[in-house]
Amino acid sequence: MTPMDALESQSIYIFREAFAKVKNLAMLWSLGKDSNVMIHLARKAFFGTVPFPALHVDTGRKFQEMYDFRDQYAKEWRLNFLRETCPPLEEMDETLPPAARSAARKTAGLRLAIQKHGFEALFAGIRRDEEATRAKERVFSPRGLAGRWDFRDQPPEFWDQYKTEFPKGTHLRIHPILHWTETDIWEYTLRESIPVIPLYFARDGKRYRSLGDHDITFPMESEAATVEEIIAELRDTKTAERAGRAMDHEEEGGFERLRADGYL
Amino acid sequence: MTKRPPSAPRPPLPIVIVGHVDHGKSTVIGRLLFETNSLPEGKAESVRATSEKRGMPFEWAFVLDALQAERDQGITIDTTQIRFQTKARRYILIDAPGHVEFLKNMITGAAQAKAALLVMDAEEGARDQTRQHAFLLHLMGLETIAVIINKMDRVGYQERRFQELRDSIGRTLHEMNLKVSGVIPVSAREGENIAAPSAHMAWHRGETLTALLDSLPDAPSQSEKPLRFPIQDIYKFDERRIIAGRIESGRLKEGDRLLFSPSNKSAVVSSLESWPPREGRGFSAEAGEAVGVMLDRQLFLERGELASHQSDPPFLSDIFRARIFWLGRHPLTPSVSLVMKRATSEFSVVLQSVERVIDAASLEEVSGERVSRNQVADIILRAPSLQALDSFGENGLMGRFVLLDGRDIAGGGVVSLDGYADQRPILEARMRDVSRVSHKVSPRERELRARHRGGVLWLTGLSGSGKSTLAFALEKTLFDLGYGVYVLDGDNIRHGLSEDLGFSVEDRSENIRRVAEAASLFADAGFVALVSFISPMRSDRARARGIIPNFHEVHVSADLETCEARDPKGLYKRARGGEIEDFTGVSADYEVPEGAELVLDTGVEGVEDSLRRLVEYVEGRFRLVPEGVSDYEI
């Protein structure tokens, strides 16, 4: 087994554990590179079928390329596709810094979807290497009634034994690619020929490294126009992956606050 | 799907940093990242700003402590991971909290590691969590551990202090059977001996921290061990019925015959399925791979069944020993019921007994049968049915488990099957397709003729407790009272029915099974069979109870001291002299009955008293009362 096979196998194991132990699952499909890898892994885990809905929590402010991609592959991959619209900005906590306030819409949309469909667990494509509070996540991460993350008292999790039973009202975030890195994602995308949104590739000396709402996401300088070139670029860069995501950097502990409140 | 091509990269080594609180774990990691140029752009600046804001000198630990509460309190609450690489390979550094109240988080982190760095303060030396972490790492199966003596700047970079600590921690780890891959002096705060040799410690002709890391071996492959393939789920998304799971050890290929345990069913792998579909045949897979298997015939199988090859199956037992660490809020005491999860199987267990409680910090034995939070203990667990088990020593991945207390994972442990018999042969014997013919004489007719019921009194106790004396005296008395009665005695059976058996654990267990079956025939025939057998294992006696319909367990309970003083056959003396191995009470355990119908303390009461109680017991429960008189209670 190569190290990449080992990553894949671990993710498949997580998908299958969740499917065996938790009812009413859905997968969050943000349309980005990570969640596309996640869908591909689910198809491998379940031999071509994705046996739960793929949910897009839509802020309405994504790039057009993202919507085009979504409409094409929801059909091509035969996904049970669901879309949830996020509430308007005016309803969000005014004390949050502007970008965080905008990002909070997604958390609110997520809560709406959970209520509407009664999901007990959601697969989310976050990774430990993305950001410091995500590095502290469990694979099966319980959220309280309002979706809050109690990072001060997380359940023990070891030897691939996951806590899957919770009191009514708790829901789970399940993280099948928590152990992957950004480079792993691109190498796997290349190996498995997984389609990606063209915004990741350099145009006029700039590319998006991480995709979010068009008004709070910024491109980086880059000449990488293919997946291979992106992998080569990552080998040398010392810039953080989410440097172009405004809500991460507004104030110390700001992103932690967002995440504690249920942001991904 | 199998071999690593020669050009493939080395797998990253996950390595956990453990040690007592404030001995500098997070600082070591921060400095290591800085010295190897692995910090993202702007990180050092933001750490400087955060430190200044809190009025502190530059605090390396802020590189890792991601939570506001961690930065505010200057402690690590939960485990985290960070990547870095040297020229030799990639690493996943796992930072684990040192505070004892966050032990569950330390274990969460450490369980993902294949190697460990134990950080120790040069001024303070080994402290509680230094020993506790090392001890737990060993219990969790981590074999490779390297030691960092940190804060050498605080002791003036003295060689003598380093040697003193190196020798003492070396002894401590050696006592725990841990292999030490290296001990190095560093000052993480000053960056001494991290990536470059320290000028202050020219006397240290050993390695730097990065060189030490690069010298640690890759995690060993599990592919050469016997096949263990636990069923995770069974899918029927289309016309295929696919058995899904991950191969934990060994290899599997199309055409292999698999044995499923504990159901003991078997079938042949007709294909290894995958998506996208592949052309061809003859596929194989090895340890670590998540696979889907189709079988040549429909078996009723469930999640939790364990597939192996027939040549090397797991052990079947409903009782086993385990060493556990306990994280639960409620202490554990005997007869507590818990749920055990091992790979994909999940079953209830009862804590039968606590053999030893160890304080993981002092490594001292704690008296009593109560296992409190953060303690380690050797215990005996019993399951209500046979389970497929492997000893941790044989198979590290299959021999480990977690315990649930309610919904929570509240502990973990490793299985030991030393001294227990594999019960698969018994299961197989029972499964053989034997049809029974029926008698023309009913049990009721037999009872009416004999004026008593048939059944078995099973006398268990230490050698010399008086079982045989009582059994033969009771036989005589009951015979005189008109009973059909017969003694099955250990020594006599050994001369006939079991003359082919030796004294291994398996043979002893089989001997007891035969006696139980023979006694059951006597009971069917209407006799009162008196079985006089040491029968030290609860599992064996429980099985006898399952075989025999009217079963009464009698514990002949003289204590070891009394029995040894009597020593009618001189056996204790020989056992003490080493002439007899595994002698119950001396070099093998006697598991005291928990639910015996009758207990006779033959250490205190005389033979006549015990005999009278036995006769009363039999008269009360076996004698048929003449018609018209109300029946006795059972």
The predicted-structure confidence for A97-126, as pLDDT tens digits, reads as follows 888 888 888 889 998 999 999 999 999 999
Q: Mean pLDDT check: name the lowest of A75-84, B111-120, B490-499, B566-575.
A: B490-499
The 3-class SS string of B94-138 reads EECCCCHHHHHHHHHHHCCCCEEEEEEECCCCCCHHHHHHHHHHH
Residue B340, exposed/middle/buried by CB under 10 A (0-12, 13-18, 19+)? buried
Does the distance separating the beta carbons of B233 and A16 come in below 8 Å? yes
pLDDT of residue B128: 87
Question: What is the distance between the alpha carbons of residues B580 and B418, in angstroms, rounded to a whole number?
Answer: 18
Q: What is the CATH number of the domain that holds B254?
A: 2.40.30.10
In the predicted model, what is the mean pLDDT of residues B290-298? 94
The fraction of chain B above a pLDDT of 70, given in percent, is 94
Question: What is the distance between the alpha carbons of residues B269 and B246, in angstroms, rounded to a whole number?
Answer: 15
Output DSSP code: residue B369: S
The fraction of chain A above a pLDDT of 70, given in percent, is 99
Question: What is the distance between the alpha carbons of residues B293 and B252, in angstroms, rounded to a whole number?
Answer: 10
Kindly state whether residues B205 and B300 are assigned to the same domain.
no
Q: Which band of pLDDT confidence, cut at 50, 70 and 90, is reported for residue B51? A: confident
In the predicted model, what is the mean pLDDT of residues B362-374? 88
Kindly state whether residues B458 and B493 are assigned to the same domain.
yes
Q: Which of B1, B67, B409 sits opposite A163 (nearest CB)?
A: B409
pLDDT of residue A169: 79
**Secondary structure element (H or E) that encloses residue B523, with its range:** helix B505-524
pLDDT of residue A232: 93
CA dihedral of residues A152, A156, A157, A159 (deg, nearest 10): 150
In the predicted model, what is the mean pLDDT of residues A196-223? 90
Tokens representing B49 are: 């700003």
Kindly state whether residues B383 and B414 are assigned to the same domain.
yes
Does the distance separating the beta carbons of B40 and A239 come in below 8 Å? yes
pLDDT of residue A42: 97
In the predicted model, what is the mean pLDDT of residues B399-418? 92
Question: What is the distance between the alpha carbons of residues B1 and B284, in angstroms, rounded to a whole number?
Answer: 7
In the predicted model, what is the mean pLDDT of residues B33-50? 81
Is residue B429 domain-resident? Answer: no
Most B CBs within 10 A among A44, A46, A159, hence the mutation to make, goes to: A159
Q: Which of B10, B81, B401 sits opposite A135 (nearest CB)?
A: B81
Does the distance separating the beta carbons of B108 and A138 come in below 8 Å? yes
In the predicted model, what is the mean pLDDT of residues B350-376? 88
Kindly report the nearest CA distance between residue A240 and chain B, in angstroms: 6
* pLDDT tens digits, B533-554: 999 888 888 878 877 878 999 9
Residue type, B632: Y
Quick check: A23 pLDDT over 80?
yes
* pLDDT tens digits, B463-499: 999 999 999 999 999 999 999 999 998 778 888 888 8
Chain B environment of A12 (Cβ under 8 Å): 246, 290
pLDDT of residue B506: 77
Kindly state whether residues B459 and B590 are assigned to the same domain.
yes
Q: Which of B9, B290, B341 sits opposite A13 (nearest CB)?
A: B290
| More confident of the two residues A248 and B289 | B289
Quick check: B630 pLDDT over 60?
no
Q: Is B402 on the interface with A (CB under 8 A)?
A: yes
Q: Is B111 on the interface with A (CB under 8 A)?
A: yes
Q: Among candidates B212, B194, B213, B214, which has minimal Cα distance to B37?
A: B194
Tokens representing B66 are: 């991601």
Residue from B26, B353, B532, B535 carrying the catalytic annotation: B535
Structural domain for B60, as ranges: 13-215
Q: What is the CATH number of the domain that holds B610?
A: 3.40.50.300
Does the distance separating the beta carbons of A240 and B108 come in below 8 Å? no
Is residue B2 domain-resident? Answer: no
- Assess contact for A170 and A143: CB atoms under 8 A: yes
Please list, in sequence order, all residues whose beta carbon lies within 8 angstroms of the beta carbon of residue B518, skipping any fewer than 6 positions away.
B488, B493, B497
Kindly report the nearest CA distance between residue A258 and chain B, in angstroms: 12
What's the gap between Cα B207 and its chain centre? Answer: 38
Does the distance separating the beta carbons of A253 and B402 come in below 8 Å? no
Kindly state whether residues B61 and B106 are assigned to the same domain.
yes
- Assess contact for B343 and B357: CB atoms under 8 A: no
Q: Which of A20, A44, A133 sits opposite B232 (nearest CB)?
A: A20
Quick check: B303 pLDDT over 90?
yes
Quick check: B437 pLDDT over 80?
no
SS3 B300: coil
Chain B environment of A239 (Cβ under 8 Å): 40-41
Please list, in sequence order, all residues whose beta carbon lies within 8 angstroms of the beta carbon of residue B390, skipping any fewer than 6 positions away.
B228, B314, B315, B398, B399, B415, B417
pLDDT of residue B39: 82
CB A125: neighbour CB atoms within 10 A?
Answer: 25
pLDDT of residue B628: 43
Q: Which band of pLDDT confidence, cut at 50, 70 and 90, is reported for residue B461? A: very high
- CA-to-CA dists, residue B388 to B256, B320, B382, B398, angstroms: 20, 11, 13, 10
Domains of chain A: which residue ranges? 3-180+251-260, 196-248
In the predicted model, what is the mean pLDDT of residues B303-313? 96
Chain A environment of B233 (Cβ under 8 Å): 16, 19-20
Q: Is B290 on the interface with A (CB under 8 A)?
A: yes
The fraction of chain B above a pLDDT of 90, given in percent, is 50
Kindly state whether residues B330 and B354 are assigned to the same domain.
yes
Quick check: B384 pLDDT over 60?
yes
pLDDT of residue B431: 63
Kindly state whether residues B39 and B85 are assigned to the same domain.
yes
Question: What is the distance between the alpha carbons of residues B607 and B609, in angstroms, rounded to a whole number?
Answer: 6
* B270: annotated active-site residue: no
Chain A: residue whose CA lies nearest to B70: A152
Question: What is the distance between the alpha carbons of residues B400 and B415, in angstroms, rounded to a whole number?
Answer: 6
Does the distance separating the beta carbons of B288 and A6 come in below 8 Å? yes
Quick check: B424 pLDDT over 90?
no
Q: Is A157 on the interface with B (CB under 8 A)?
A: yes
Query: Taking a contact as any Cβ pair under 8 Å apart, which residues of chain B between 473 and 492 contact chain A?
Result: none
Please list, in sequence order, all residues whose beta carbon lies within 8 angstroms of the beta carbon of residue A73, skipping any fewer than 6 positions away.
A36, A79, A195
Does the distance separating the beta carbons of A1 and B66 come in below 8 Å? no
Quick check: B631 pLDDT over 70?
no
Q: Which band of pLDDT confidence, cut at 50, 70 and 90, is reported for residue A152? A: confident
Q: How many domains does chain B have?
A: 4
Is residue B627 domain-resident? Answer: no
Domain stops at, among B288, B309, B330: B309
Quick check: B62 pLDDT over 80?
no
Does the distance separating the beta carbons of B4 and A157 come in below 8 Å? no
Tokens representing B163 are: 């040697």
CB A185: neighbour CB atoms within 10 A?
Answer: 27
Kindly state whether residues B462 and B610 are assigned to the same domain.
yes
Does the distance separating the beta carbons of A256 and B66 come in below 8 Å? yes
Chain B environment of A157 (Cβ under 8 Å): 108, 409
Kindly state whether residues B562 and B470 are assigned to the same domain.
yes
Q: Which band of pLDDT confidence, cut at 50, 70 and 90, is reported for residue B501? A: confident
In the predicted model, what is the mean pLDDT of residues B591-619? 91
| More confident of the two residues A103 and B6 | A103
Please state the φ and ψ torsions of residue B19, each to the nearest 5 degrees: 145, 175
Task: Classify strands B315-326 and B376-389 as parallel, antiparallel or unpaired.
Answer: antiparallel
Q: Is B273 on the interface with A (CB under 8 A)?
A: yes
Kindly report the nearest CA distance between residue B295 and chain A, in angstroms: 16
Chain B environment of A185 (Cβ under 8 Å): none
| More confident of the two residues B506 and B27 | B27
Query: Taking a contact as any Cβ pair under 8 Å apart, which residues of chain B between 5 and 64 contact chain A?
Result: 5, 8-12, 39-42, 50, 53, 64
Q: Is A128 on the interface with B (CB under 8 A)?
A: yes
Does the distance separating the beta carbons of A238 and B40 come in below 8 Å? yes
Q: Which band of pLDDT confidence, cut at 50, 70 and 90, is reported for residue B44? A: confident
Most A CBs within 10 A among B409, B414, B415, hence the mutation to make, goes to: B409
Helical axes B505-524 vs B538-547, angle rounded to 10° = 30
pLDDT of residue B254: 95
Chain B: residue whose CA lies nearest to A138: B108
Most B CBs within 10 A among A154, A158, A168, hence the mutation to make, goes to: A158
Kindly state whether residues B340 and B450 are assigned to the same domain.
no
Does the distance separating the beta carbons of B275 and A48 come in below 8 Å? yes
* Overall fold of domain A3-180+251-260: Rossmann fold (3.40.50)
Quick check: B352 pLDDT over 70?
yes
Q: Which band of pLDDT confidence, cut at 50, 70 and 90, is reported for residue B615? A: very high
Find residue B145's DSSP bridge partners: B116, B180
Does the distance separating the beta carbons of B10 and A9 come in below 8 Å? no
Question: Which range, A190-194, A237-241, B204-208, has the best average confidence (pLDDT)?
Answer: A190-194
Chain B environment of A159 (Cβ under 8 Å): 111, 400-402, 412
Q: Which band of pLDDT confidence, cut at 50, 70 and 90, is reported for residue B519? A: very high
Whether the upstream peptide bond of residue B226 has omega within 30° of 0, thus cis, is no
Mean pLDDT for chain B overall: 88
Is residue B588 domain-resident? Answer: yes
Quick check: A224 pLDDT over 70?
yes
In the predicted model, what is the mean pLDDT of residues A15-32? 95
Quick check: A21 pLDDT over 70?
yes
pLDDT of residue A145: 66
- Assess contact for B240 and B273: CB atoms under 8 A: yes
* pLDDT tens digits, A172-197: 999 999 999 999 999 999 999 999 99
Quick check: B632 pLDDT over 60?
no
Kindly state whether residues B588 and B608 are assigned to the same domain.
yes
Kindly report the nearest CA distance between residue A242 and chain B, in angstroms: 11
In the predicted model, what is the mean pLDDT of residues B68-81? 74
Helical axes B103-110 vs B128-139, angle rounded to 10° = 40
